Amino acid sequence: MIQTESNSMKQYLAEFIGTFTLVFCGTGAVIVNEVIPGSVTHVGIAMTFGLVVMAMIYALGEKSGAHLNPAVSIAFTVYGNFPVSKTAPYIIAQLAGGIAASSVLKTLFPLSVLLGATIPSGSNLQSFIMESILSFFLMLVIISVAKGSKEQGLFAGIAIGSVVLLEAMFAGPVSGASMNPVRSLAPAIVSGQLKQVWIYVTAPVLGTVLAVLVYKLIK
């Protein structure tokens, strides 16, 4: 029992660290590009998100599965290969890691108003549909190369990181290409910009859950 609890705590810590790194590097790239205009560029931001996801999968995948995303944890639970008892702790650890990262970025860049938060460039409906579809594609790839909380295969990190990079590349200017409630919620909470954050909390969950249901049909 003690060993099981210890392993669980290590998984939660891994999710905290992984999500902290994702938000710190990803939204950090957005902030740096904001405070030093054009220094990172849109392409650089997309590459940062893709590469940090890939790196965290290889660094932490064996320990926690490197979900780094509440929508992914929920989808795995719906799929039935991730324990319900760990879903809430995973989400709490992810949210804590994201908020911690945004808080550090707020200290480093106090003049940044949005802290890399995602905001629709068009209508709310446009971004909601875009985020749902992006999350669907992402989860379809994840469920194909990963099993529960264990990343499967040598190329899992490359496959998942590449999808994040690809989707951020073309959809970033439209909706921000969040695909992750914490990636959007953390900077929104710390910056106080909560007006449209509901899009980025609900759409990724809808998209990822739909992906696992479709995957069950085609498997």
CATH of the domain at 193: 1.20.1080.10
> In this predicted model, what pLDDT tens digit does every residue of 103-157 receive, in sequence order?
999 999 999 999 999 999 999 999 999 999 999 999 999 998 876 444 455 688 9
Angle between helices 70-79 and 181-191 (to 10 degrees): 150
Share of the chain above pLDDT 90, in %: 86
- Give the ranges where the chain is alpha helix by DSSP (H): 2-35, 41-64, 70-79, 84-108, 124-145, 156-175, 181-191, 197-218
3-state secondary structure of 150: strand
The pair of three-digit structure tokens given for residue 216, joined into one six-digit string: 């069950």
Q: How far apart are CA 48 and CA 32, in angstroms?
A: 12
Nearest residue to 202 via CA among 142, 131, 121, 133: 131
> What pLDDT was estimated at residue 14?
96
> What pLDDT was estimated at residue 33?
96
Is the pLDDT at 57 greater than 70? The verdict is: yes
Torsion from C-alpha of 126, 130, 133, 136, nearest 10 degrees: -130
> What pLDDT was estimated at residue 151?
44
145 burial via Cβ count (<10 Å: 0-12, 13-18, 19+):
middle
121 burial via Cβ count (<10 Å: 0-12, 13-18, 19+):
exposed
DSSP one-letter string for 177-191: ----HHHHHHHHHHH
Counting the structural domains of the chain, the total is 1
Contact 53, 22 (CB under 8 A): yes
Q: How far apart are CA 201 and CA 215, in angstroms?
A: 22
Q: By residue range, what is the domain housing residue 60?
A: 2-218
> In this predicted model, what pLDDT tens digit does every residue of 145-172 receive, in sequence order?
876 444 455 688 999 999 999 999 999 9
> What pLDDT was estimated at residue 213?
96
Which residues contact residue 88 at a Cβ distance below 8 angstroms, ignoring those fewer than 6 apart? Answer: none
Q: What is the 3-state secondary structure (H, E, C) of 89-112?
A: HHHHHHHHHHHHHHHHHHHHCCCC
Is the pLDDT at 102 greater than 70? The verdict is: yes
| Per-residue pLDDT band at 62 (split at 50, 70, 90) | confident
The pair of three-digit structure tokens given for residue 203, joined into one six-digit string: 């759409």
Average pLDDT over the chain, rounded to an integer: 93
> What pLDDT was estimated at residue 150?
47
Least confident of 26-30, 62-66, 68-72, 82-86: 62-66
Whose structure tokens read 């990724």? 204
> What pLDDT was estimated at residue 207?
98
> What pLDDT was estimated at residue 82?
92
